[in-house]
Structure 1
């Protein structure tokens, strides 16, 4: 953790330590410290990716909410995809579709 923080700029360090501080207050110090090593195992490249990995380590994956579609939305007509034209661009290989 010390090595990772040494590579971050000051705003990045503040962002990371703020997230860890909030997690320690909400989840407890033991859980937040364990999540630090888990987040580092994801090999984050910067402060933003570390905070995302840290949140994932603390809470796990979340279900992506579905978009609400209005009832009056017209349906799309279906069409068959034809990639044969792209096959010629790719060296005239046989395209399976």
Structure 2
């Protein structure tokens, strides 16, 4: 009887240890997967930027600013104008029977 109890405790502890190790292994593999994917998709940073701050700001200003942004665009020419409506739109208040 004592031997059976010791054997049962030992198997229980072994099972718990196995589950714990498996969980740790899976967590590590999951973390390594994301680390590996990030390394594949991330741009490699190499070299030094050898340009003055003024030139860099001038380039960025030229690339990302629009001098004609205050000018109105007007209607687009490539979109056809819709035909005028054939029937009048009903703008009266809804009737009680329509609401119910």
Question: Shorter-normalised TM-score: what interval?
Answer: under 0.3
Calculate the TM-score normalised by the size of structure 2.
0.20
